[in-house]
């Protein structure tokens, strides 16, 4: 009977590990799907707000995507989360690293303004950075509304 009990526990443990692995894989898929959906919404938002023509879109999006990739790569290298246990030296180093990253981000923006001029007129480029911020604020606002809706519905 002890062996049967052990086998049942082993099978139950294996089943729980398998289902948790499967659930986390689905969660990863959901995150990827959400990211793709958000990217598509951003493309539609910027295309509409900038009133990009088909010819402009074909030139603009590859340059813009390279710009975003470079910015995202830079941001991924910087730790922007101070914690209460860090030393003064660690905090100072973090602050200077963040300032250095902002400086590099401005350099990247300057570089891509020049590249974007071959795709769209400067007046549209000037709108672009504001539209990115507007889109981000819109997404955050929608997320807050959804959270409030879930909390209110309980």
126: tokens are 């000037």
pTM of the model: 0.71
Has residue 35 got a pLDDT over 50?
yes
Predicted confidence at residue 6, as pLDDT, reads 46
* Tens digit of each residue's pLDDT (9 = 90 or more) over 49-73: 999 999 999 999 999 999 999 999 9
Q: Within 10 A of 62 (CB to CB), how many other CB atoms are there?
A: 12
C-alpha–C-alpha distance, residues 108 and 66, integer Å: 11
Predicted confidence at residue 149, as pLDDT, reads 81
Name the packing angle between helices 88-116 and 54-76 (round to 10°).
160
Higher-confidence position of 2 and 118: 118
132: tokens are 């990115």
Predicted confidence at residue 15, as pLDDT, reads 52
Give the residue-averaged pLDDT of 5-14.
52
C-alpha–C-alpha distance, residues 64 and 150, integer Å: 35
102: tokens are 């902002």
Closest CA relative to residue 40, chosen from 149, 135, 152, 154: 135
């Amino acid at each position: 009977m002890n062996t049967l009990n052990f086998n049942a526990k082993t099978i139950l443990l294996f089943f729980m590990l398998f289902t948790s692995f499967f659930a986390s894989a689905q969660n990863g898929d959901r995150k990827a799907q959400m990211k793709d959906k958000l990217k598509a919404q951003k493309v539609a938002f910027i295309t509409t707000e900038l009133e990009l023509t088909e010819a402009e879109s074909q030139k603009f999006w590859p340059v813009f995507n390279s710009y975003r990739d470079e910015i995202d790569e830079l941001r991924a290298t910087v730790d922007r989360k101070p914690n209460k246990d860090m030393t003064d030296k660690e905090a100072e180093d973090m602050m200077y690293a963040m300032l250095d990253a902002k400086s590099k981000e401005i350099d990247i923006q300057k570089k891509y303004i020049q590249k974007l001029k071959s795709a769209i007129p400067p007046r549209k480029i000037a709108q672009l950075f504001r539209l990115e911020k507007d889109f981000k604020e819109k997404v955050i606002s929608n997320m807050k509304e959804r959270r409030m809706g879930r909390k209110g519905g309980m």
